[in-house]
Amino acid sequence: MASYTPHTRSDREKMMEFLGIDSLDELFQAVPPSYRYPELSMDKGRCEQAVLKELRSMADKNSSAAHTSWFLGGGVYNHYIPSVVDSIISRGEFFTAYTPYQPEVSQGSLQAIFEFQTMIAELYGMDVVNASHYDGATAMAEAALMALRCRSGRKKIILDEGIHPEYREVLETYLSGSEGYIARGECDDETACFITAFPSFRGELKDLKALGEKVHARGALFIVNADPLACGLFTPPGECGADIVTGEGQPLGIAMNSGGPLLGLFATSKKLIRKMPGRVIGQTSDGSGRPGCVLTFSAREQHIRREKATSNICSNQGLMALAAAVYMAALGKQGIRDTARLCYDKALYAARQINSLKGYSVDLTKAFFREFVVTCPMDADILSANLREKDIVAGLPLGCFEGGNERELLVCVTEMNEKEEIDRLVNAMKEAL
């Protein structure tokens, strides 16, 4: 039986020679030793039953949200996923489907993406949605590049302070080969676009309509990186004047999976559709009048024209888009609204309980969704480690980001967190003092 590992010892030696290193340890020297996985070593000649038993014992050492009290967010969230989602996306015709260039043999994939686009358009309150991007960060970066194309001569991109720090890093990478640059402050006549988040990285909610009016007054595009679940409860960005809406679709039926794969959402208005990156699935009819789906608004050649192309995006997260479509169809409008409401109510309850603890504080004067910042009486890293020993993943210490406050902890509460679990977190935080 062929080895599951595709690289032979000779292959690895050739690669190390090319890289100018003598061992695999040198390859991973940038990774601290405590974070490296030890090389898996098992006795040869063991039967399958014995091998599987040992592998399961190793796997049982891993922790997951199912075995801990999980309050970690910061971009990837623990939400309930109906069984129908995995059941559908595991079907062979979807799981192994190739990029749907040929509509005559790809109607299932094309229709699934079309349905996905339609539901995201309704959720965001926008005219048109593309077939998806790699993740929320790349979708936001592509929106910035689109703004530079739409506002020729304007090079300034204003980032709101609430943008995820890692999204900013991705945008900086995208802009490295362009004339565009990131700035802060108010929009002016040199501004191509203003990008804000709804909610912000810290969970805060802003008045999008008022913000959009200020941006449009300066002739810039208003871009909102919006959480899709939040849009199921609050007025969607499209109704607040957004020109482009992007977002991370992971909350829509996609497991956390240690951080991926994710799903980038991208929506815009009809007047900007020909400047939009990626592909769009449209509905049409054939010569016999039968309905069908096809790629529209862009030729296949567009994606290989290099610098002359509208975008270098030539693929999409088809399987993840399908998962999101199945999730939204299963829950329906009311189900999505109910889920978002549970997140809002439970997060508010947790914030109030924590704020009542001596030494801890939460700014309850600001509206927030699902996440909120706790100012702790100690280093948030120390508190987090303390609670981790009690099988509580308390949140994201913000000191890990440049310029972050080491005593601030970003706590996330979703519909998955029961009241007893929240109370356990509160009591553990109290005992940590």
Largest CA distance in the chain: 74
Amino acid present at 302: Q
Give pLDDT, residue 309.
67
What are the residue boundaries of the structural domains of the chain, listed by start?
A: 69-79+333-431, 83-325
Give pLDDT, residue 259.
86
- Which stretches in the chain have pLDDT values below 50? 1-3
The class (CATH top level) of 83-325 is alpha beta
The class (CATH top level) of 69-79+333-431 is alpha beta
CA distances from 179 to 151, 220, 336, 350 (A): 13, 17, 40, 45
Give pLDDT, residue 193.
98
Q: Write the pLDDT tens digit of every residue in 306-349.
A: 666 666 666 678 899 999 999 999 999 999 999 999 999 999 99
Output the 3-class SS for 329-355.
HHHHHHHHHHHHHHHHHHHHHHHHHHH
Q: Which of 305, 323, 330, 328 is nearest to 132 (CA)?
A: 323
User: Rounded to an integer, what distance in angstroms lies between the CA atom of residue 11 and that of residue 137?
Assistant: 34
Give pLDDT, residue 1.
37
Give pLDDT, residue 314.
61
Give pLDDT, residue 123.
97
Q: Which residue has the tokens 């978002």?
A: 340
| 222, 245 Cβ separation under 8 angstroms | no
